[in-house]
Amino acid sequence: MTKKVRAKAKLDNYKAPTRVFNVPADVNGNPLRVSEYYGENVFDYKKSDILTKQDKKDIQAVVSKNQDLTKDMAEKFANAVLNWATSKGATHFTHWFQPLTGSTAEKHDAFFSLENEQPVERLSASQLIQGEPDASSFPHGGSRSTFEARGYTSWDLSSPIFLRTNENGKTLCIPTAFVSYHGDALDIKTPLLRSITQLSNIASRFCNLVSGNKREAEKVEYVDVTAGCEQEYFLVDKGLFFERPDLVMGGRTLFGAITSRNQQLEDHYFGTVPDRVMAFMQEVEVELYKLGVPAKTRHNEVAPGQFELAPIFGKANVAADQNQVIMATMQSVAIRHGFVCLLHEKPFGGINGSGKHLNWSMTDSNGDNLLEPTDAPHANYRFLAVVAMICESINRHGANLRTAISGHGNDHRLGANEAPPSIISVFLGDTLTAIFEAYAQGKSYSKEGEDFLDLRADQLARLVKDNTDRNRTSPFAFTGNKFEFRAVGSSANVGIPMTILNSAVADVMNEMNDRIEKELGEGKEVDDILKGIIKDLYNNSSKVVFNGDGYSKEWELEAEKRGLPNLRTTADALKIMANDKSNEFLTKLGVYTPSELETRYNVRVERYVKHRQIEFNTLVNMVNKDILPAAIEYKKSLAESINLQKQVGVEARVDLAILRDINEKVEQLRADNETLDKMLEAVGGREDIEVAEKIAKEMMPLSEKMADLIAYLEENVSEELWPLPTYYDLLFIR
């Protein structure tokens, strides 16, 4: 019995029932509204029974950064956390952090302790604030010796403490940063927090410089970076997943024949969600609501087996943490429903891959969105100046943003007909572009056209027309009152691209602040200063503005004429990280130190090489153990059929032609497989940029050629002999 037959037998026996889970209910069994249990697994000091009113005021002042955290206050906070967590059944706590792997890490310690030989539950202030995990096995990019194992985790007061639940208990998760013994950031959170702080300070200064004679009470004290991460993913049946070594080892299929109907009818997008998938989605949402994650939208995506979850936007650091929680929750809940959740950017060739659209904006302490155009965007000079500064930041630092989203998975997705190209450009829409073009030429702009769409049907509500359309092909698009960084990959930690984006904008805005201050001192009016900034920055950065089809070959040629970088592979993009001049703005702002950038460069190169090596080794083994034996067995059966036909005097022309074709493909595949194996052996244990380039330019094309050969064999070898679940099985079994 082949693997495929065994897998299908499993699915025949397993009727894939819809999992029934307990929806939150009151004591009488009546379902609770989401608002009644939302955030029940998140610690809220304002609701604590053991903290006094003054304690809560003091903690609020600490969280708002108006005063420092004292040891006494930390002890009170830790005791309140302990009381809340243990009352809800938690037995352990962990410092939850994000090392340079891109995922999360944790080490659990029990609350249980012995004091005077008596058992007690204990969480001290020092345990809350600081931890000392063994850092030796985390990626460090050569920033320290292997024997230097000490690392520190430091409590992030701005991100909520939460409880993670499993079948046998609960664990208190304390969001933390992760640094080395010498204080170098070994994580993703620390630089993100630095970039948020810098952008907040610089954007606050900008707001106050251009505010005119506003009252002191309206002075901007801070600017919050806000973000929302739309998460795309695939679901495959668990029974089939474990029959594909490539999915298990690398998260994607290394080969597969496309089905006759995949997404060309466009009937899956926004279609009716299958019952079993809906049950999964509903349980994910319940778990997220309990964790204070505001899940908002769910729907089928374009490809079969592909779906999306999107939350309500929030503060950038919290949004980044919550996206990690979303991914982990989806993966754990999927298993309960007999699925595996795939977060790889391109799990299946020939159909759409998955992204994570990062929606980004800034809101000041008065609640005003700096990217809100208002009803008259052409006269909103502050808004236009902010957009112009963002365009200039993409112009200056687009290559850094491309590097921030690079990775082995996203290489398969960028530039395909479902994702933005690897050329970083900005979409502004016709209205905003017309406004900028007018000001860039020193002309005025007058609004034209209707605010409402005429649908010529009295039964339908009138639709307000937005200032901009949506451009699915743009990597960085203005979408009404925010920018959408569409090129981020589905498995990515959004803290990385957000750090670079925050820093890029802060760099340009900081420079403009100095200009504004200087020109104010010269007696110029604020509106005139802003119009000058709009004109100069747009004239300088208009080459990155593109409102057309980013998929087209014409844009690729046009972008080259404009001088825009096209870093096609991760190996190309990572070289930017080794360029001191390209990274100068990051070190100048204090977001990274030079040694931290070097660390990240080394780690990113190493991880790219390792991921590809895992894929190539898996491919070589699957060809040897699964594909070639199946093809050879089919050749044998064809030869026997041909001999039988000869014995009865029948000319077997068709079978002979098929046998020749399959024999040719088998021999070519065998030779290519041996070549790939030798190339792997030649690079050995090296994990440098030269190996990364060899992988991207030589080994990847070879593996893709092999995938085409295997696809041919899959389509022609008898189904009974084919040993692996196919795309038909993986994408359509629900």
pLDDT digits (tens, 9 = 90+) for 631-643: 999 989 888 877 7
Average pLDDT (604-608) is 95
Query: Using a CB cutoff of 8 Å and minimum separation of 24, what contacts does 59-63 make?
Result: 62/157, 63/157, 63/158
Residue 435 and residue 433: Cα distance in Å, rounded?
A: 5
**Per-domain residue ranges for the chain?**
38-187, 194-253+266-450+461-592, 608-732
pLDDT at position 147, please?
A: 43
pLDDT at position 443, please?
A: 84
Q: Is the pLDDT of residue 3 over 70?
A: no
Q: What CATH code would you report for 194-253+266-450+461-592? A: 3.30.590.10
The residue ranking higher by pLDDT, 733 or 368, is: 368
Tokens 């664990």: give the residue.
171
Reported pTM: 0.93
pLDDT digits (tens, 9 = 90+) for 688-721: 999 999 999 999 999 999 999 999 999 999 999 9
Q: Is the pLDDT of residue 428 over 70?
A: yes
Q: Is the pLDDT of residue 215 over 90?
A: no
Average pLDDT (180-193) is 91
pLDDT at position 716, please?
A: 93
pLDDT digits (tens, 9 = 90+) for 348-363: 998 889 999 999 999 9
Banded pLDDT at 462 (limits 50, 70, 90): very low
**DSSP string of 38-63?**
TTTTB--GGG-SSS-HHHHHHHHHHH
Report phi then psi at 721, rounded to 5. -95, -20
Average pLDDT (149-169) is 87
Contact 465, 516 (CB under 8 A): no
pLDDT digits (tens, 9 = 90+) for 528-558: 999 999 999 999 999 999 999 888 888 989 9
Q: Is the pLDDT of residue 366 over 60?
A: yes
Report phi then psi at 214, rounded to 5. -70, 155
Tokens 């390792």: give the residue.
610
Please state, as a whole number, how many other Cβ atoms lie within 10 Å of the Cβ of residue 272: 10
Task: Report DSSP state, residue 477.
Answer: E
Tell me how many degrees the CA angle 568-574-575 measures, rounded to the nearest 5.
Answer: 100
Q: Is the pLDDT of residue 111 over 70?
A: yes
Q: Is the pLDDT of residue 4 over 60?
A: no
pLDDT at position 452, please?
A: 47
- The alpha carbon of residue 23 and the mean position of all alpha carbons in its chain are separated, in whole angstroms, by 29
Residue 723 and residue 719: Cα distance in Å, rounded?
A: 8
- CA 136 to each of CA 97, 147, 521, 609: distance values in angstroms, whole numbers, following the listed order: 15, 7, 54, 20
Banded pLDDT at 463 (limits 50, 70, 90): very low
Tokens 């850092």: give the residue.
135
| Beta-sheet strands, E only, within 282-423 | 295-300, 306-311, 314-315, 339-342, 356-364
The class level of CATH for 608-732 reads mainly alpha
The residue ranking higher by pLDDT, 450 or 87, is: 87
Tokens 């001088």: give the residue.
563
Contact 315, 192 (CB under 8 A): no
Tokens 């900028």: give the residue.
436
Q: Is the pLDDT of residue 464 over 50?
A: no
pLDDT at position 622, please?
A: 98
pLDDT at position 82, please?
A: 96
Average pLDDT (176-197) is 92
pLDDT at position 458, please?
A: 56
Strand partners, 203: none
Q: Is the pLDDT of residue 417 over 70?
A: no
Closest-CA residue to 495 (of 97, 65, 154, 94): 97
pLDDT at position 471, please?
A: 57
Contact 279, 17 (CB under 8 A): no
Q: Is the pLDDT of residue 375 over 80?
A: yes
Average pLDDT (287-314) is 94
Q: Is the pLDDT of residue 116 over 60?
A: yes
pLDDT at position 549, please?
A: 87
Contact 709, 672 (CB under 8 A): yes
pLDDT at position 619, please?
A: 98
Residue 65: burial class (beta carbons within 10 Å; 0-12, 13-18, 19+): exposed
Banded pLDDT at 678 (limits 50, 70, 90): very high
Q: Is the pLDDT of residue 416 over 80?
A: no
Of all residues in the chain, the percent with pLDDT exceeding 90 is 69
Strand partners, 235: 341
Mean of the per-residue pLDDT values for the chain?
89
CATH fold of 38-187, please?
Answer: Ubiquitin-like (UB roll) (3.10.20)
**DSSP string of 199-230?**
HHHHHHHHHHHTS-S--GGG----EEEEEEEE
Contact 228, 319 (CB under 8 A): yes
Q: Is the pLDDT of residue 387 over 80?
A: yes
CA atoms within 13 A on the CB side of 284: 31
Structural tokens at position 534: 């709009």
Banded pLDDT at 21 (limits 50, 70, 90): confident
Contact 361, 485 (CB under 8 A): no
Closest-CA residue to 518 (of 504, 533, 497): 533
Banded pLDDT at 220 (limits 50, 70, 90): very high
pLDDT at position 437, please?
A: 93
Q: Is the pLDDT of residue 598 over 80?
A: yes
pLDDT at position 466, please?
A: 54
